[in-house]
Structure 1
Amino acid sequence: MSKIKFSSPRDAEDAFYQAIENADLPAMMAVWSDDDASVCIHPGAPRLEGRGQIRESWQEIFESGPAMTFEVSDERITEDTNLAIHLVREEIAIEGELVSVMLSTNIYHRFNDSWRMMLHHSSPEPELIMDEYDLIPEVPAVLH
């Protein structure tokens, strides 16, 4: 496990978003738990399990994508002694232009006096998806 210690879930979360903005794979993996039960679900992508798959996905994102900045808001946080659940809204910008809004769940657990990410699950904000469909008259608004 990484020697970096995160004294709170907030410290781990701040490091997570900083690692994305800096496209820093070692910093990203320092946030993640060593537990093979760790899960990452990127928007529209399949579930990734374990550090190996999670590392590969972030490496691909950092190597192939443009630099992103995140504005995290609308936080809903539930914490106890060893587990923290953060529900957040992420506004993602590229070169200062808002390109995406995601709703994400980040789950952290405390292990050996350090907080680590166990789950990151992100998906597009539904209201924004529906707004895009509203601009296209030939696409019916059907739920199922």
Structure 2
Amino acid sequence: MSRTDIEAVEEVNAAFYEAMERGDFDALSALWLEDEISCVHPGWPVLSGRGEVLRSYALIMSHTEYIQFFLTDTKVALIGDTALVTCTENILSGGPSGEAGELGPLVGQLVVATNVFRRTPAGWRLWSHHGSPVLTDSDEEEEEGTD
């Protein structure tokens, strides 16, 4: 395991999130393997195959006017030609509002993600992405705890 492999995986992982932020579907598509891939977006069923996975990103991009990812707790594990990246996605996003050209309220989300990459002759490519929302205590539970 060389440091350069870890750096290369970190770079392609960052490129994945940057493509989402820019809404660059072509760049995002190029980061995925050509063969069997899978994806789980928070609250979605498992998506399998390149067509299904890439359609989901096209749908998300077409309905999201603004999204920014602040990644924390990023860890890379590398075994042979497979890399596992875990991180916390601190997501700031906004969608269309009723006003012409103005974003709706920006909403923050916390999602933990696992991204699996495989080494190919063209570099590291995404094999699987799994995002799961981090559940927080509701206001009701917090109020009960203060009594």
- TM-score calculated relative to the size of structure 1: 0.80
Partner of 1:136: 140
Equivalent-residue separation in structure 2 for 1:67 and 1:73 (angstroms): 20
Matching of residue 105 in structure 1 with residue 114 in structure 2: yes
Equivalent-residue separation in structure 2 for 1:28 and 1:113 (angstroms): 15
Partner of 1:13: 13
SS in 2 for 1:136: helix
Equivalent-residue separation in structure 2 for 1:110 and 1:10 (angstroms): 13
Gaps of 5+ in 1: 1-6
Partner of 1:39: 38
SS in 1 for 2:91: strand
Aligned residues with identical type, % of pairs = 29
Equivalent-residue separation in structure 2 for 1:77 and 1:42 (angstroms): 20
Partner of 1:4: none
Partner of 2:90: 91
SS in 2 for 1:108: strand
Gaps of 5+ in 2: 1-6, 95-104
* 88-97 vs 38-47, which moves further: 88-97
1:97 positional shift: 4.8
Deviations 1:85-144 (CA, angstroms, capped at 9, x unpaired) = 00100100136955101000000000114110001000111xxx232x2x135xx9xxxx
1:27 positional shift: 0.7
Partner of 1:28: 28
Q: Summarize the Cα distance change of 1:113–1:23 in structure 2 as closer, same or farther, 3 Å threshold.
A: closer
1:15 positional shift: 1.1
Query: What do you get for the CA RMSD once the two structures are aligned?
Result: 2.0
Partner of 2:131: 122
Partner of 2:4: none
Equivalent-residue separation in structure 2 for 1:114 and 1:58 (angstroms): 22
SS in 2 for 1:130: coil
Deviations 1:27-82 (CA, angstroms, capped at 9, x unpaired) = 1101100012x101000001011110011100000001231000001012101331
